[in-house]
Amino acid sequence: MSPSSKPTTEPDKVRVRLYRFDPATDQAPRYESYEVPYTPRMRIMDVLDHVHETLAVDFGYRWLCGTKKCGTCAVNVNGTPKLACWDAAEPEMTIEPLSNLPLVRDLVTSRDPFEASLASLSPMLVRKAEYAGFPEPLSAQDMAPTAHLRDCIQCLACQSVCPVLRQPDSGFAGPALLVALSELAQDPRDGADRARLADEVAQVFKCVSCYECERVCPTEIPIVSEAIEPLKRLAHSAGRSAGARRTRAFLDVVKARGYANAALVALKTNGFSLHGLRLALRLLPRGKLNLADAFLKRSPPGAAAIRKTYESNGQSSENPE
């Protein structure tokens, strides 16, 4: 932030609207408004503490460490997930529980579904060989790919904004679980079948790549490129899900032709189906399906040069370093 955009005066008070709801006793949620005296460098948590200690003793919120380690204090502030212990108080705040998670009471959401999903992913090192004893032969280079992933404090801010998790029964594990799985999958000591867990249990190919998770991550983890994409890399060649099949179909079509053809990718992914036919009949009259291109023009001009260039580098899935 440039110096000129800083407020010249700090507020003398903070106006806060708090979400209140106890599903055990209340008919419906309500909001309670409070004014809290502003103190320099005030955090969201300081505001919540003040309300709890002086204004509403029965108000429910949660924190343990207060220092961005435990991941229990994330709440929605003016619609965006924030860590109460780490982010600055704003002059006007509407504070609500993280969305898309079961509510316990007021700002407290349940971590139970997350913990249960985590348990289904063998969230511990499953060694390929017996522990060799200390010191383990493990280099900084071995651990580099997961360096950022180990910053995850499992605050569930990402889970609360993931649009796929908002769909009922999506089966998708969500970004925080994929970070945990990816950390193990990329650990050279681990020998569990992480490819199968990623494809079938965590269902990584249901990620829509919207980067909403990265937008709200308080520890700024590149979740898509460093957790989710490495899992797709691991799982795409043998994966049995429709998403894994679609990835293979896309790669086959583009490597053969130099560009994607929607009809061919769809056919290779799902085979022939009435559903696909219905969609095709919807698109054909509008000129949106180029069937001649798909089935007659087998070797588009220039495809060979493109293929050659790709293949000279494409087979290596490692970093260029």
Partner 1 sequence: MTRKYAYFPGCSAKATCRELDTSTQAVAGLFDIELTELENPGCTGAREFRAVSEMLHLTANGRILAQAERLGCDLVAVCDTCLLNLTETNHRLKTDAAARDAVNRALASEHLAFKGERAVKHFLWVLTEDLGEEALRARVVRPLRGLKVAPFYGCHIQRPSTAYGATPPDQAPALDRLCRLLGAEVVQYEGANKCCGFHVIGAEEKIAVRMSGGHLGNAKTNGAQCIVTPCPLCHTVFDAYQPSIEREFQRAYQVPVLHVSQLAGLAFGLSAADVSLSRHVVGCDSILAHIGGSGSPAAAAAE
Q: Which residues bind partner 1 (CB under 8 A)?
A: 163-164, 166-167, 170, 172, 205-212, 214-215, 222, 224-225, 228-229, 232-233, 236, 241-243, 245-247, 250-251, 254, 258-262, 265-266, 269-270, 279, 282-283, 286-290, 293, 300-303, 305-306, 308-310, 312-321
What's the closest the beta carbon of residue 129 comes to partner 1, in angstroms?
A: 28
Q: Would residue 258 be called left, alpha or beta, if left means φ above 0 and alpha means ψ between -120 and 50 degrees?
A: left
Collapse the DSSP code of 32 into the 3-class scheme (helix H, G, I; strand E, B; otherwise coil) and give the result: strand
Q: Which residue's CB is nearer to partner 1, number 159 or number 269?
A: 269
Q: Which residue's CB is nearer to partner 1, number 97 or number 258?
A: 258
Q: Which residue's CB is nearer to partner 1, number 135 or number 301?
A: 301
What's the closest the beta carbon of residue 266 comes to partner 1, in angstroms?
A: 6
What's the closest the beta carbon of residue 108 comes to partner 1, in angstroms?
A: 25
Q: Which residue's CB is nearer to partner 1, number 112 or number 252?
A: 252
DSSP symbols for 75-141: EEETTEEEETTTSBP-SEEEEEPPTTS-EEETTEE--HHHHHHHHTT--S--BSS----SSP---HH
Q: How many CA atoms lie within 13 A of 198 on its CB side?
A: 32
Q: Which residue's CB is nearer to partner 1, number 116 or number 292?
A: 292
What's the closest the beta carbon of residue 77 comes to partner 1, in angstroms?
A: 15
What's the closest the beta carbon of residue 96 comes to partner 1, in angstroms?
A: 15
Q: DSSP E strands: which ranges in the chain?
A: 13-20, 30-37, 74-77, 80-83, 92-96, 103-105, 108-109
Sign of the CA dihedral with 284 first, then 287, 292, and 293 last: negative
What single DSSP character describes residue 162? Answer: -
